[in-house]
Amino acid sequence: MLGNDYAAQDCSIARALEVVGERWTLLLLRDAFLGVRRFNDFQVHLDIPRGVLAERLRHLVADGVLRREPDPADGRSAVYELTPEGRELWPVLHALTVWGGRRRAGAGRRRFLHVPCGTELDAQAACPACGVVPPAADVLTTYGAARSDARTDRVSVALREPRRLLAPLDAAA
Amino acid sequence: MLGNDYAAQDCSIARALEVVGERWTLLLLRDAFLGVRRFNDFQVHLDIPRGVLAERLRHLVADGVLRREPDPADGRSAVYELTPEGRELWPVLHALTVWGGRRRAGAGRRRFLHVPCGTELDAQAACPACGVVPPAADVLTTYGAARSDARTDRVSVALREPRRLLAPLDAAA
């Protein structure tokens, strides 16, 4: 039941789900787009067992979605960054966000703005003012007022500040 | 591990994944967009245990993504159709298809065309000729030559014919 093999399903969606369809993987990738790079930061924010997180990261590196590099702040540990292939998942994450948030009002609502012009992206992740679909690096995200029961871990708090996608989160471990 | 509760993750993606993030659910919804409506047709095509399929369908009905109706061909059984809310998942499915198929050549490649003009949709599911994002019902899908190891069940064969999204598949059970 937990396998990730949809080999008998000859379709591109099945191929995508073999890479990103496991539980927690898309939330982990959401965090990577928000700038989370360190194991401990993923762990604090996702609040999942370390073994599960390690296994998900290992798969994503093996599948070419994430790249594991020495931590510039501490060469003995590592940071995980989206590869160009991983960055192409931005429209998937954006479409899920739009669908999941379609009935959500201000509190806890994340918005996505095109950096050069400040216009909010439309449901297709396009900038209506510029007529382009900006790459994730050109997108600023903001967060509405936190819900009263919002998480208070240091990563959650940092990610509620306005931030550019893919800009490294510097919360140390 | 198999739960679908991401309650501690206050984000719209987590809300979406609570509804569609379980294993097989997005492939089941892919089939629904392709016109599959009957339990046996889903089962033949997905080739998963009947209990798993029944549980997934039950959840999607409870969550308002699918609607369960009496089968017009046989009032004792049922058909499952996407609700308006479920149809809004089309951009998610399309984005996954684009990402999963980005290195895929002709064989087994599914294309999506805007019905009124025949133009292929772009990566954002928009029609470049008309400048609109067509609803799923206005999209025609075609399939490249089947791979040599493609599935030969009757539903797979039927779904390789050109078809309009959401048009009911009439393969009887």
Residues B16 and B78 in one domain: yes
pLDDT, average across residues A54-64: 97
Residues B144 and B96 in one domain: yes
User: Residue B21: left if φ>0, alpha if ψ -120 to 50, beta else—which one?
Assistant: alpha
The alpha carbon dihedral of B21, B140, B143, B155 has a sign of: positive
User: Which candidate from B95, B126, B146 shows the least CB-CB separation from A92?
Assistant: B95
* pLDDT confidence of residue A68: 97
Interchain proximity A27–B10, CB inside 8 Å? no
* pLDDT confidence of residue A120: 95
A9 touches chain B (CB under 8 A): yes
> Taking Cα atoms as reference points, which of B107, B66, B36, B10 lies closest to residue A12?
B107
Residues B56 and B120 in one domain: no
Interchain proximity B1–A11, CB inside 8 Å? no
3-state secondary structure of B106: coil
Residues A95 and A157 in one domain: yes
Total structural domains within chain B? 2
Residues B145 and B127 in one domain: yes
Is 70 exceeded by the pLDDT of residue A103? no
Q: Between A and B, how many CB-CB pairs are < 8 A? A: 147
What's the CA gap between A31 and B87, in Å, rounded? 27
User: Considering A85, A110, A139, which residue would you say is the last residue of a domain?
Assistant: A85
What's the CA gap between A37 and A32, in Å, rounded? 6
Residues B68 and B25 in one domain: yes
Instruction: Name the pTM for this structure.
Output: 0.86
* pLDDT confidence of residue B172: 47
Q: Which residue has the higher pLDDT, A72 or B9?
A: A72
pLDDT, average across residues A39-66: 95
- How far out from the chain centre does Cα A38 lie? 13
What's the CA gap between A36 and A168, in Å, rounded? 6
pLDDT, average across residues B38-54: 94
Q: Given the structure tokens 């198999």, which residue do they identify?
A: B2
3-state secondary structure of A79: strand
Q: Which of residues 114-133 of B touch A (CB under 8 A)?
A: 123-126, 133
What's the CA gap between B173 and A53, in Å, rounded? 42
Residues B95 and B80 in one domain: no
Judge contact between B150 and B156, C-beta under 8 A: yes
Is 90 exceeded by the pLDDT of residue B34? yes
**Torsion on CA atoms B120, B125, B126, B129, rounded to nearest 10:** 0
* pLDDT confidence of residue A32: 96
User: Considering A61, A85, A109, which residue would you say is the last residue of a domain?
Assistant: A85
Lowest mean pLDDT among A125-129, A156-160, B22-26, B147-151: B147-151
Residues A34 and A46 in one domain: yes
Per-residue pLDDT reduced to its tens digit, A142-152: 987 777 778 88
Give me B106's structure tokens: 């002709």
User: Considering B85, B107, B128, which residue would you say is the last residue of a domain?
Assistant: B85
Answer yes or no: is A108 within a domain.
Answer: yes
What's the CA gap between B18 and B12, in Å, rounded? 10
What's the CA gap between A64 and A67, in Å, rounded? 7
Is 90 exceeded by the pLDDT of residue A6? no
Is 80 exceeded by the pLDDT of residue B129? yes
Judge contact between A93 and B13, C-beta under 8 A: yes
Q: How far is B61 from chain A (nearest CA, A)?
A: 16
Judge contact between B44 and B155, C-beta under 8 A: yes
Burial call B125-164: b when 16+ CB within 10 Å, e when fewer: bbbeeeeebbebebbbbebeeeeeeebebebbebbbeebe
Phi, psi (deg, nearest 5) at residue B101 = -105, 10
Judge contact between A49 and A90, C-beta under 8 A: no
Give me A166's structure tokens: 């893919």
Judge contact between B47 and A8, C-beta under 8 A: yes
Residue A70: count of CB within 10 angstroms of its CB? 11
Domain of residue A19, CATH code: 1.10.10.10
Answer yes or no: is B43 within a domain.
Answer: yes
First-to-last alpha carbon distance for chain B, in angstroms, is 34
Q: Which residue has the higher pLDDT, A75 or B100?
A: B100
Is 90 exceeded by the pLDDT of residue A48? yes
This complex has an ipTM of 0.85
Answer yes or no: is A33 within a domain.
Answer: yes
Instruction: Give the domain range for residue B150.
Output: 90-164
Burial call B73-109: b when 16+ CB within 10 Å, e when fewer: eeeeebbbbbeebbbbbbbbbbbbbbbbbeeeeeebe
Confidence of residue B10 (pLDDT cuts 50, 70, 90): low
Residues A112 and A99 in one domain: yes
Residue of B23, B44, B153 to mutate, testing the A interface (most A Cβ within 10 Å of its Cβ): B23
What's the CA gap between B165 and B62, in Å, rounded? 23
Judge contact between B80 and B43, C-beta under 8 A: no
Residues B58 and B100 in one domain: no
Residues A92 and A160 in one domain: yes
Nearest-CA residue of chain B relative to A87? Answer: B99
pLDDT, average across residues A124-134: 91
Judge contact between B119 and B128, C-beta under 8 A: yes
